[in-house]
Amino acid sequence: MSVRAITPDYKVQARDRVENFHGNQIVYVAWDRHLMFCAPFAYALPPTMTFAELRDQVMPEAFGLHEEFAIINWEKATWLLDNQSFTPDLNQSLQAQGVGHKSVLRFQTPELTGFQGKAV
């Protein structure tokens, strides 16, 4: 469907195109079933950043507030990229492995069940 506009051929540019972010792209990251964090985090990241840099340098500041974050076994953690199962390559850039502008990255740690085992 499209909007009914009073202007014929109403055309606009999307406000959040990647070129508006000064060389960065937006990537959303969430830890499933850990609702201490009320919502996924939004990061502005260089597309050339490696997955290791994202995981080990960017994510700890916010996710590290959860006491389970330090004990995650990353070998066992699983990931979803835009709702598809995904195996990150730590040494490759985000761009090179398909983590694009406004992609959603979610990770699951089934052995860590959150505060009181209640997904918090």
Partner 1 sequence: MSAKKLNLKDKYRLLTRDLDWEYSYVDRKKAFPYEEFEGIKITDWSKWEDPFRLTMDAYWKYQAEKEKKLYAIFDAFAQNNGHLNVTDARYVNAIKIFLTGVSPLEYQAYQGYAHVGRQFGGAGARVACQMQSIDELRHVQTQIHAMSHYNKYFDGFQDWTHMHDRVWYLSVPKSFFDDARSAGPFEFLIAISFSFEYVLTNLLFVPFMSGAAHNGDMATCTFGFSAQSDEARHMTLGLEIIKFLLEQHEDNVPIVQKWIDKWFWRGTRLLSIVAMMMDYMLPNKVMSWKEAWEVYFEEAGGALFKDLARYGIRMPKFVEVTEKEKEHVSHQAWWIFYNYGHAAGFHTWIPSDEELDWLSEKYPDTFDKYYRPRWELAKKMEAEGKRFYSQALPQLCTTCQIPMGFTEMDDPTQIAYRSSDYEGEKYHFCSDGCKHIFDEEPEKYVQSWLPVHQIYQGNCGGASVEEVLRDYYKLNLGADNLDIKGSPDEQRWKEWKGVA
- Nearest distance in Å: CB 87, partner 1: 20
How crowded is the C-beta side of 33, counted as CA atoms within 13 Å?
16
User: Closer CB to partner 1, residue 97 or residue 103?
Assistant: 103
- Nearest distance in Å: CB 90, partner 1: 21
Q: Please name the residue ranges forming H helices in 1-120.
A: 51-53, 59-63
CA distance 15 to 4: 20
Phi, psi of 108 (to 5 degrees): -125, 140
User: Closer CB to partner 1, residue 48 or residue 91?
Assistant: 48
CA distance 82 to 93: 17
- Neighbouring-strand partners of residue 103: 27
CA 59 to the chain's CA centroid: 10
User: Closer CB to partner 1, residue 12 or residue 75?
Assistant: 12
Which stretches of the chain bind partner 1, using CB under 8 A?
1-6, 10-17, 20-22, 24, 26, 28, 30, 32-33, 35-44, 61-62, 65, 82-83, 100-104, 114-116, 118-120
- Nearest distance in Å: CB 55, partner 1: 14
User: Closer CB to partner 1, residue 91 or residue 98?
Assistant: 98
